[in-house]
Amino acid sequence: MTARITRLAGAILLEQENQYFLIGNTKQPCNWQQEGFETPDEIDAVKQPFLLLTPVRTIAIEGQHLTVDQSNGATELAQALATRFLIRRNGSVSDRLWRIVTGENDETGASAEQQINITWLIDMPERIWEIVRDAALKCL
């Protein structure tokens, strides 16, 4: 099964098998109804790194997005994405880590690809990703 991943108000939106998870804290205001979801009670990714969103209509993830091919459930994938992308001290999605995975940089902007398969990221041993993560998040 294929999961689709995109950004929503600075957080990550994961869709797999008609389940939607918000991963990380939002970085900007979000009109949840306009985006197609019930307003979450509380978003605090330090306490709870991901939460299940309730759709109020059909959600269409269009444009550039990430994909993951895997047999694990959506909850396990949400946890893996939180482990890979969140800054632990504040629960925000690291834009640096996101750009490493998507291949974006200041000169090129977003990748021209509509779908970027990141199954490799989920399959990568956590110890290896920690080396990348520590180097990317190190204050310069």
pLDDT one-digit tens code per residue, 55-67: 999 998 887 899 9
Write out the residue range of the structural domain in which residue 63 sits: 2-137
pLDDT higher than 90, residue 131:
yes
Q: What is the mean pLDDT of residues 27-52?
A: 95
Of 3-7, 72-76, 113-117, 132-136, highest mean pLDDT: 3-7
Higher-pLDDT residue of 3, 113: 3
Whether pTM > 0.85 for this model: the answer is yes
Mean pLDDT of the chain: 90
Tell me how far apart the alpha carbons of residues 10 and 85 are, in angstroms, rounded to a whole number: 12
Higher-pLDDT residue of 112, 130: 130
Structure tokens at 99: 């750009």
Q: What is the mean pLDDT of residues 20-49?
A: 95
Q: Is the dihedral of CA 91, 94, 95, 98 positive or negative?
A: negative
pLDDT higher than 70, residue 44:
yes
In the chain, the percentage of residues whose pLDDT exceeds 90 is 74
Contact indicator for 81, 75 with CB cutoff of 8 Å:
no
5 phi, psi to nearest 5 deg: -135, 135
